Homo-oligomer: A and B are copies of this chain.
Amino acid sequence: MQIREAAQDDFERIWPFFNPIASAGDTCAYPRDISKQEAKRLWMHLPDKTFVAEERGEIIGAYYIKANHDGPGKHVCNCGYMVSEKARGAGLGTLMCKHSQKIALKLGYKAIQFNFVAETNRLAVHLWSKLGFEIVGRLPKAFNHPEKGYVDALVMYKWLGD
């Protein structure tokens, strides 16, 4: 398995797992019916960089990195991660998150912030906590879960050092 910077046309091989994750509506802040074109804009054009995890020629995960705010907030980045269904439970989220922390420092960022982690997404909360992210905010009923209705969203944050 290798994690490498994505080429624009890699999105063709990200979309097959991006689409069901967005459609489920229980983890990320995208419309459930997001178009491939808009998803590509958000993941391939808007971010500083996008990386893919590739195993035997197959893309099994991806993440992006971008500034979370501009101006006085430009030293804090935001990342989003997606793992294909078949690759889940094998530690790829951990690997990509560790990779992204190194890339963040290389790009000059000093911290990573996750803005919108559904409190019901226990796997993610557990994973990010294990990797040193702290829950620094709780947004009451900010996440409209498809089955559970309005649940809290968490803000998670890790200072990467000076």
Contacts and interface: CB of A to CB of B under 8 A. Distances in A.
Interface of A: 22, 25-26, 28-32, 34, 69-76, 110-111, 113, 115-116, 118, 136-146, 150, 153, 155, 157, 159
25 contacts: A25-B71, A26-B72, A28-B71, A29-B72, A29-B73, A31-B70, A31-B74, A32-B71, A34-B71, A72-B144, A72-B145, A74-B144, A75-B150, A76-B142, A110-B141, A110-B150, A111-B140, A111-B142, A136-B138, A136-B140, A137-B139, A137-B155, A139-B155, A141-B159, A142-B157
B159 A140 contact: yes
B136 A137 contact: yes
A67 to B, nearest CB: 10
Copies in the complex: 2
Contacts of A28: 71-72
A130 to B, nearest CB: 19
A71 B29 contact: yes
B71 A153 contact: no
Contacts of A145: 72
Contacts of A118: 72
A145 B145 CA distance: 36
Nearest to A38: B70
Nearest to A75: B144
A31 B116 CA distance: 24
A127 B140 CA distance: 20
A115 B69 CA distance: 9
